Structures are given as C-alpha cells and as structure tokens.
Amino acid sequence: MDSAGEPRGSSGSELVAVGDYCYDCSSDGESSGSGGEESACVGDDYDFREEAVSTGEERYVVLTQNDLHGRQEEDIRQVSSVFSIPRGSACILLRQYKWNISKLSDEWFADEERVRTSVGLPAKGVILPDCQKLTCGICFEGYSTCALSSASCVHFYCPECWEGYISASINDGPGCLALQCPEPSCSAMVLEETINRLAKDEDKVKYKQLLLHSYIEDSKKIKWCPAPDCTYAVEFLGDGNYDVSCMCRFSFCWNCTEESHRPVSCETVSKWIFKKSAESGNMKWIIANSKPCPKCKRPIEKNHGCMHMTCRPPCNFQFCWLCLGAWSEHGNRTTGGYYACNRYESAKEQGIYDEAEAKREQAKNSLERYTHYYERWASNQTSRQKAQADLQKLESGNLAKLSDILGIPETQLKFIPEAWSQIVECRRVLKWTYAYGYYLDDKAKSEFFVYLQGEAESGLERLHKCAEKDIHVFLYKAGRSCILQDFSKFRVKLAGLTSVARNYFENLVRALEAGLND
C-alpha cells in the first residue's frame, strides 16, 4: 500500500509521485562531486533554501514595542519642533488628529487658533492669582497657591484630588487620552506632564501603554498581531497578498486580522465563520430533523421508534408523527391501525405534503453538504495543529538527537524542519479550500476544483507521511552503523516532496484566487 504511489523505474531509481508530477529520488541523481555517499548527505553543495516571501520590496515589517515607542516619539518630536510647542501639547494634537501629521499640519498652519480651541489647548499659560491661599475645586480645602495645579486654565485642584481624578480616568480606559479639566464647563486638556507629575506610578505605566495603543489603532498601516499575549505589531507595506507572519510565529491576514486564509477572500472567511457560529445552522438542523407540534407549533424531535408522539407539557398534545393528525382519530377503520397510518401516503399522493417535505428535504441536503465541507475543514485544522506540535517537538529535541545519531551538524538537517513548515502551510491552504468549495456555485468549475483539491490532498499526504513516519527509522537506530546511505535517500525524497508540494500549492492558490478562469 505504501509503495503503490511510488513506482520504480527500470534503472532502480525511485520516483515520488505527487499529483501529476514525479520527482527523481535516486541516489545516483545526487551531485556528481567526489563526496560519495557520505558527502551526498553532509556535503556543502546541498543547500535547500526557502523561497522568499516577495521577490520585490518587503510586503510588511514586524515591529517590537521599542520600535513602536521610537516611531511615536519621533512623530511627537517632529511636531513639537516644527510647531514650536511643548512636547505635551504636540502629543495632545497628534492624539486628537489620530497621529495624522499631514492633516494636522494643514489645519494648524491654516488656522492655529481654531485648532487650539477645538482640542482644548490654550495659547498661553494661566497666571496664578496674587494671593497666598486658594481653595481646591473638588474637596474645597484651603491650600497654598504653589500646592495647587490646573490644566492650563483657571481651575485649581490639590494633588490628592488630581491623583484620584487621573487614576479613575485611566482605569476607565482610552478615554483618559482626551482627559479634560475636572470642571464640567471647561474644555482645557490635561497634558502628559501633568499626569507624570501627579499620577501614581502604575497609572503612569497604563497611560503610556494606552497612548501607544492609540498610535497603533489609529494608524492605517500598522496593526497589532491578534495572537494571544503577543506584543508585536505589523506594518503593511505592499498590496494584494495580505498574509503576514509575526515573530511569534502566528500567521494572519493583515486586512481582516483573521488567521491566514489564502486562497479564500476575507468576505468568504467572514461568511464561513458566521455560519459556524450562527443560529442559522441550528435552525436547519431543526427543520431537517424535527416536525412542529400540530397544536402549539413547537419543534418535536422523534426519539423513539413508534409513531405515537406526545408534545411536552403544558401542551401534551398526542399526534401521529407521519401525518401530524390527532392520535385520537387513529382507529382501525379510518387509518388502518395505530401503527400503519396510511393518511400520510394518501395526502402525499394528492400533493398536500409536497411543499413541507420539499423544504425538509432541502434543509437536510443543505445540512449534509455543509457537514461534508466542515468536517474536512476541521480535520485539516486538527492535522495542522498536530504538525505544528511535531515541528516544535523536532526543534526542541529530536533534531539534536538525530544529529547525534548520524554525526551530522544540525545545520545540514534543516531540510526536515523546512518540510514540516511546508506541511503546516499546506494544511492551512487545504483547510480553506473546503470553505472555497462550499461557496463555489459554478458546476463546471466545481468539478475542476475537486480534481485540483484531490491532487493537492494526495501530494500533501505523501509529504506528511514521509516527514512523520520515515524519520522514525533513523531516530531509533542509535548504535547502528551504515545508515548514512539510507538517510541520503530519505533526504532527497523529503526535499523533493517538499519542493513539489510547495510549487503545487502556490500554483493552486494562484489559480483559486484567479477564480479558476485559466
């Protein structure tokens, strides 16, 4: 069975068939250098390189927290310098204009006074009253003039009241970034230096994080990685292909922030996810597998063999499952017996039940079709998760173990994790082809799609089997000699299957994205 898909040529070379392709895995097909069998396994001439994400410029850049802070500070410094205003004022302006320096500059130089008024940024500071004592506007306690603070307005408050006011606002969320004077009628903004001077240390940290988050969330080109607990962000530079990979190893679509889903569109993913979670699926099941009580109309599922149904309390109506008639009318003369109701068949012949049955049959077919695609979608998702776990296990120990057994540096074994990475990627693509197929309405294209999908499934299974099972032969051969020749064949076979799978799946993705028009 294992060799059925791997025909051998007359010269003894091994051909690995993947779809419509065959890859020569013969040891004679190695480099013709003088390294012999051992050099075929560990020679420097072998270098299996992964293809670049983009042949042109970079499509995206992964940014760390330090990168983001640096960019944010540079924008603040630039506005502060060009506008000749303090850093805190520049920060308020950028926040109010969603960090859009271009728009801010246009409006600022067109009408500075209007911009200042609209964001609550006074042009001049407030001169303290010429007195020794003032009253806090919140607690109404008397304080010396120098002990009170204001938001560049005429309303002064003590440090304790400021601290409580700022803390409550920061703990409420991002609204603190537009914090105004506590006086309801005053629109003066509270600057960052006021917060740094009067807030608690933990509140200062939260404020800086919220400020950084606003910098990302207001940006049109930078988004946070949606992986749990990930602190990286991704700046998108290209167009067309939105699939990006974060440094946390999570791959997602930059456009919709769902997991990477090529070849299907963001719209298709949205519909698929909704279908998985929406009540519409449950309603189809109810229609396909239940009937309404003739009296109260609640759906009833038949869970026993006989046709005598009793609705749930308080209805308790007894009826026949076949014809939905009252059970009290089922007698030997009228229906042919309690368990041989012929009223249904008679009514069906007259066309009375045709419409209801047609709806029920349509719902059942729709449910079966969805179940077919969903089960295969979920199975590939499970296989992908298992492949990710196997890749992690390989990198965390098995690769080093294999290196010791064979006496080969780990750098010469990189084709194995590359194969597993390709398996993970192919499982992802194959998974989403089932969502693609579910929404594909063109019958002619559907038949061609099923063929392409089957070829992809076949090729991937060969690669997955080779990476998952064939390697065990070498992992558990510790102490044996003369295994380099077998490993050389395994290397060529696995590298060949990886290359073929990569090429096939890339072509498949392009074909599906083009709508199978070629």
Question: Is the preceding peptide bond at 314 cis, omega within 30 degrees of 0?
Answer: yes
At residue 411, φ and ψ (nearest 5 deg) are: -65, -25
Amino acid at residue number 190: V
The total number of residues written for the chain in this structure: 518
476-488 in b/e form (b: 16+ CB < 10 A) is ebeeeeeebebbb
99 by DSSP, 3-state: which? Answer: coil
Q: Specify whether the CB–CB gap between 446 and 440 falls below 8 A.
A: yes
Catalytic residue among 230, 266, 306, 426: 306
How far apart CA 436 and CA 439 sit, in angstroms, is 6
How far apart CA 79 and CA 335 sit, in angstroms, is 89
How far apart CA 292 and CA 283 sit, in angstroms, is 13
Structure tokens given for 220: 């049109």
How many Å is the Cα radius of gyration of the chain?
35
Structure tokens given for 370: 């969805």
Our answer to whether residue 306 is catalytic in this structure is: yes
Residue matched to tokens 């969903």: 374
Helices and strands of the chain, counted as H and E runs: 18, 13
Residue matched to tokens 């194969």: 419
How far apart CA 2 and CA 465 sit, in angstroms, is 10
The DSSP element (H or E) to which 484 belongs, if any, is helix 484-513
Please report, for residues 38, 53, 129, 302, 486, the alpha-carbon distance to residue 32 in angstroms, rounded to integers and kept in the order given.
13, 31, 92, 72, 18
User: Would you tell me how many other CB atoms lie within 10 Å of the CB of residue 349?
Assistant: 10
How far apart CA 283 and CA 279 sit, in angstroms, is 6
Q: Specify whether the CB–CB gap between 290 and 300 falls below 8 A.
A: yes
3-state secondary structure string, 170-227?
HHHCHHHHHCECCCCCCCCECCHHHHHHHCCHHHHHHHHHHHHHHHHHCCCCEEECCC
User: Would you tell me how many other CB atoms lie within 10 Å of the CB of residue 140?
Assistant: 9
At residue 308, φ and ψ (nearest 5 deg) are: -80, 110
| Active-site residue list | 306
